[in-house]
Chains A and B, each alone.
Chain A
Amino acid sequence: MTALIDATGLEKIFRSRGRDVAAVADVSLSVGAGEALGIVGESGCGKTTTARMLLRLEDPTAGRIIFDGTDITTLRGAALLKFRAQAQLVFQNPFDALNPRFTIRRALAEPLNNFGVPVSEHAERIDAVLHRVRLTPPAAWLDRRPHELSGGQLQRVVLARALIPGPKLIVADEPVSMLDVSVRAGILNLLREARDALGLAAVYISHDLALIRYVCERTMVMYLGRVVEEGPTKELIAKPAHPYTRALVAAVPVPHVTQDRAQLPIRGSLSDAASVGGCAFRGRCPHAMKICTDQAPPLRSITPTRQVACHLEGAML
């Protein structure tokens, strides 16, 4: 299968207070049509920055992105606009994502106008997309404004706005973290359905592995701007190969009384991270060895579907 989006060696360096911050370093990923990739990791590990580069909302300082056979890394003007219609972002906070003065009709017509869809097609497309996100009958919703909707209903409108230009890729950055548990499930189900029905490629970002498991077959784990592990989500949860993934999995509480409460296999916090040279995780890793200080472990395949960046190469499994 050829991937819909294929990114190689993405890097983003921010200059902040005269200092360079490498938010993302050497990230490569690819996602095919109908496939969903999850990105997980601690706060500040570079998930959002990676997503923004994939959508060209942020220019990478290095690396290349091929989308549907075209190099989009440096697109400008009309070509960039065409790409934007095909690669859409689902915002995290539905309460901020919509203009409070606009009706739902107008909120949905806006992207169509932006991407030059003829007005004669608007009504039909708006009707179809409202059905897709289950705001039916559409007539009952079109003239409402955001304050007349619940958080879950708003997030459906936000999803409809992302779907209406007919994208091939959607990127959802913490799409349900602001929503109540009772309505999250509905949005996650809609995302899954939309992906299956429309054959979309999807990238989901979250620090909640339990949630990622429901929507993504494959998951990439980031630590301090780098990919430390990648593989099928279920395998990664059942047998994490990187010590950081192991801690991440162990830290997720489960909704059952019987669960593992043993001390997490990780030390300190992000700020204790070792910096120059070697493995970036070594300051917190319970398995750190001499080689970990001397050499940075490259991302290597340990099975045909799994990759890990650790000198142990999953040997502690």
Chain B
Amino acid sequence: MSMLSVRDLVVTYATRAGPVRAVDGVDLDIPAGSITGLVGESGCGKSTLGRALMGVLPEAGKIAGGQIVFEGADLVALSPTARRAIAWRRLSFIPQTAMNALDPVQRLRAQMLEVLVERGGLGKAEALARASELFHLVGLDPIRLSDYPHQFSGGMRQRASIALALALEPALVIADEPVTALDVIVQRQVLDVMRNLQARLGLAMILVTHDIAVVAYACDRVAVMYAGRIVEAGPVADVLENPLHPYTMGLTHAFPDLYGDDMTLVPIDGTPPSLLHPPAGCRFAARCPFVQPRCADEPPVMTGDHQAACWRVDEAAELRALAATPATWLPK
């Protein structure tokens, strides 16, 4: 059973040029106790989706349709107060700029207490003990609770953000690019902290990233987003080793690998379409080497556990063989 089921979610931003459909018909299922990677290129709507799930969209953004069913309740249909009550207790969001989102003029202890006492309703002594425990959990010395954020390195700040996000024992953590700004050793340490916590506390996690190697390292499942939609989703092993969608196939060849003899990197020519006036059919059609006439007319849909929104999903094995040839991706 899914802990979270998103159905046909649409999120728009009001802009002078008209509504930007940043999330445009997303279906997504998050099983309890799993880490799901959400990947896709810049501007495809990853942060918008994460924020919509948490109910923290910026002012210009609004949910224009669809459902977010979390533990049986549709968050979209709830009153703001009822929704916040669930979001604060059961969900947690680590924003893309978490490293810099800590309050620079407050010691970490005060920031932890604020969450634990004011939102969590703990007594002061209890909250202090819990804060130490949380720091310990993310691999920080509890002594450092009396430090200010600037006394921490980037990786330590990221760990502190994770400790804050876990303070109220959420069931689902949405982490937006938690390791992107970190160098590889610190990135690995933070990912390990997240993996261990996930396993020990049994929580579910959505890890937003644009790095498929990070997904391969840390996630159980992956959803690939393109131009406001999920185009492929499934268990990591299936999606990365046997991609069904041409965009996913392209990504796997564009990615540098530390090992292996294949020293060609193949770019995906072109850029994603504007979300102001998204194309009617498949959104990847303008860049897809396997495009057919019907692709431009009608949007393909997804079905099944490992699924992809592509008209040619039945031919995926042949397309994968073609996709492995660099010439396939040459600009037309």
Interfacial residues, chain A to chain B (CB-CB below 8 A)? 42-43, 150-152, 180-186, 188-189, 207-211, 213-214, 237, 247-257, 259, 261, 263-264, 266, 269-271
Contact of B185 among A184, A186, A247 (CB under 8 A): A247
Answer whether residue B29 sits at the interface, using C-beta atoms and an 8 A cutoff.
no
Closest 8 CB pairs of A and B: A186-B267, A185-B265, A253-B217, A253-B213, A185-B267, A182-B268, A251-B188, A251-B184
Which of B184, B215, B250, B258 interacts with A237 by CB under 8 Å?
A: B258
Contact of B263 among A151, A214, A252 (CB under 8 A): A214
Asked if residues A248 and B265 are in contact (CB atoms below 8 Å), the reply is no
CB neighbors of A among B175-222 (8 A): 182-189, 191-192, 210-218
**Is there an interface contact between A255 and B216, defined as CB atoms closer than 8 Å?**
yes
Contacting residues, chain B, for A181 (C-beta < 8 A): 41, 210-212, 251, 254-255
Chain B interface size range: 35 or more
Enumerate chain B residues within 8 angstroms of A251, measured Cβ to Cβ. Answer: 184-185, 187-188
CB distance from A36 to the nearest CB of B (A): 13
> Is the beta-carbon distance between A253 and B188 smaller than 8 angstroms?
yes
What are 23 A-B pairs with beta-carbon distances under 8 A?
A: A42-B185, A180-B42, A181-B41, A181-B255, A183-B268, A183-B271, A185-B254, A186-B267, A186-B269, A207-B183, A207-B184, A208-B184, A208-B256, A253-B218, A254-B217, A254-B259, A255-B257, A256-B216, A256-B241, A257-B236, A261-B192, A264-B185, A269-B156
In the complex, the number of residue pairs spanning A and B with C-beta atoms less than 8 Å apart equals: 124
Contacts of B187 in A (CB 8 A): 251, 253
Which single residue of chain A is at the shortest CB-CB distance from B184?
A251
Known: A182-B254, A256-B240, A269-B186. 11 other contacts (CB 8 A): A43-B183, A151-B42, A182-B41, A183-B268, A184-B254, A185-B265, A186-B269, A207-B184, A210-B257, A251-B188, A253-B217
A255 touches B255 (CB 8 A): yes
For residue A259, which residues in chain B have a CB less than 8 angstroms away from its CB? 216-217
Would you call B266 an interface residue if the criterion is a C-beta within 8 Å of the partner chain's C-beta atoms?
Answer: yes
- CA separation between A254 and B262, bound complex, in Å? 14
Residues on the A chain within 8 Å of B12, using CB: none
> What mask results when residues 152 to 181 of chain B are scored 1 for a CB within 8 Å of chain A, else 0?
011110000000000000000000000000
Residues of B within 8 Å of A271, CB to CB, are 153
Task: Tell me the smallest distance from the CB of B146 to a CB of chain A, in Å.
Answer: 16
Interface of A, secondary structure class, is: helix
Residues of B within 8 A of A256 (CB): 216, 240-241, 257
Q: Out of A43, A184, A210, name the residue touching B154 (CB < 8 Å).
A: A43
Task: From B182, B184, B250, name the one whose CB has the most chain A CB atoms within 10 angstroms.
Answer: B184
Question: Quick one: which of A209, A252, A255 has the most chain B CB within 10 A?
Answer: A255
| Complex-state Cα separation, A211 to B184, whole angstroms | 12
Report whether over half of chain B's contact residues are helix, strand or loop; otherwise say mixed.
helix
Contact A237 B259 (CB under 8 A): yes
Q: Are B41 and A180 in contact (CB under 8 A)?
A: yes
Instruction: Report A155 CB to chain B, min CB distance, Å.
Output: 12
> B267–A184 contact, CB under 8 A?
yes
Asked if B47 lies at the interface with its beta carbon under 8 angstroms from chain A, I say no
Bound CA span A313–B188, Å: 26
Query: Is the pair B252, A255 in contact by a Cβ cutoff of 8 Å?
Result: yes
How many Å lie between the Cα of A255 and that of B214 in the bound state?
A: 7
Q: Are A253 and B211 in contact (CB under 8 A)?
A: yes
- Cβ-defined partner of A257 (8 Å) among B241, B255, B263, B271: B241
Contacts of A213 in B (CB 8 A): 256, 258
Contact between chains at B258 and A257 (CB < 8 Å)? no
Contact B236 A269 (CB under 8 A): no
Q: Which of B156, B217, B237, B267 contacts A183 (CB 8 A)?
A: B267
- Give min CB distance, B26 to chain A, whole Å: 20
User: Does A214 lie within 8 Å of B265, measured CB to CB?
Assistant: yes
In the complex, what residue of chain A is closest to B189 when comparing beta carbons? Answer: A264
Complex Cα spacing A182 to B189, Å: 26
Report chain A residues within 8 Å CB of B259: 237, 254
Residue numbers in A under 8 Å from B266 (CB-CB): 185
Q: Is the CB of B213 within 8 A of A255?
A: yes
Chain B nearest CB, measured from A111 CB (Å): 26
Q: How far is the CA of A185 from the CA of B330 in the complex (A)?
A: 12
Instruction: Chain B residues near A237: list those with CB within 8 A.
Output: 258-259
Query: Bound complex: CA of A50 vs CA of B141, how far in Å?
Result: 34
In the bound complex, CA of A237 to CA of B188 (Å): 17
A209 to B271, CA, bound (A): 27
Q: Is the CB of B213 within 8 A of A254?
A: yes
Bound CA–CA A43/B185 (angstroms):
10
Contacting residues, chain A, for B189 (C-beta < 8 A): 264
